[in-house]
Amino acid sequence: MTDGDFRLVQNGHIVTITLDRPAKRNALTSASLVQLKTMAESLSDNPEARVVIIRAEGRDFSVGADIGGMGGASEPPPTVQLRRTAEHGLRLMRALREIHQPTICAIQGIATGGATCIATACDFRIGTPDARIGYGEVKLGINLMWHALPLAIQAVGLARAKRMVMTGALFDAQTMLDWGFFDEIVAGDDRDDRDAAALRLAETYAALPPIAVQMIKRSANAYSGALDQAVMHADTDQWLLGTRTADFREGVSAFFERREARYTGD
């Protein structure tokens, strides 16, 4: 099955979802978020699927949001519409977390912003030695959205999550392994090594009793994220506030002009 930037292939009990936009470094658009959400939800009607692998073609897993699409419209949409569009990522994260089957994210190269959010919504993460992981939103003067902050904290711990999200820096694969973000780093940078490692882990879970595995996953997620929705209910509104600041405009301009941004706090 192919839907826009994604394709879904099932081989026995293992489903592989591939982001296939390498010419754009797999940058995520609003449309691609909806596409992945639809694929994630479709797995509920697939009793033969026992494990899901999420991977990407090309040099990088994904550079996150397609910033090239920002600021292109001469007339911005009404705030009420903008707010609803901004919730595409939240709905995607919800759909990914609610996949019944164990999920494995296989990461190469850069994963930042929304791409890292997608990775933390998965149960397990495998990386290549050249992987670099981060959250770059702060460099645009905006917050981390999609209710993804609790998942970042659960993945690496409070202080390290603050460091990642507040600096917007990229962290190397070994650091991410040491911090608990990665479950495994493959031996080489070869994408075949990454895919083989993901497949080995998938086969381990596919061989287990699916009802028990899926119940355990759901209970563990419910326990670890019991307060997530209540605490993070306002992150879309925080984003709306951030996009109305001079620092946001400066961050976007600096990105396109390939220069260091000069933030003022306005």
Written as tens digits, the pLDDT of the chain (266 aa) is: 777 899 999 999 999 999 999 999 999 999 999 999 999 999 999 999 999 999 999 999 999 988 876 555 557 778 888 888 888 899 999 999 999 999 999 999 999 999 999 999 999 999 999 999 999 999 999 999 999 999 999 999 999 999 999 999 999 999 999 999 999 999 877 788 999 999 999 999 999 999 999 999 999 999 998 888 778 888 888 998 999 999 999 999 998 999 999 999 99
pLDDT of residue 70: 59
Cβ-contact 18, 55 below 8 angstroms: yes
Q: What is the pLDDT of residue 81?
A: 83
Question: Residue 69's pLDDT is what?
Answer: 62
The model's pTM is 0.94
In the chain the domains, ranked by start, together with CATH numbers, are 2-211 (3.90.226.10)
Spatial separation of the C-alpha atoms in residues 95 and 79, rounded to whole Å: 25
* C-alpha–C-alpha distance, residues 82 and 87, integer Å: 9
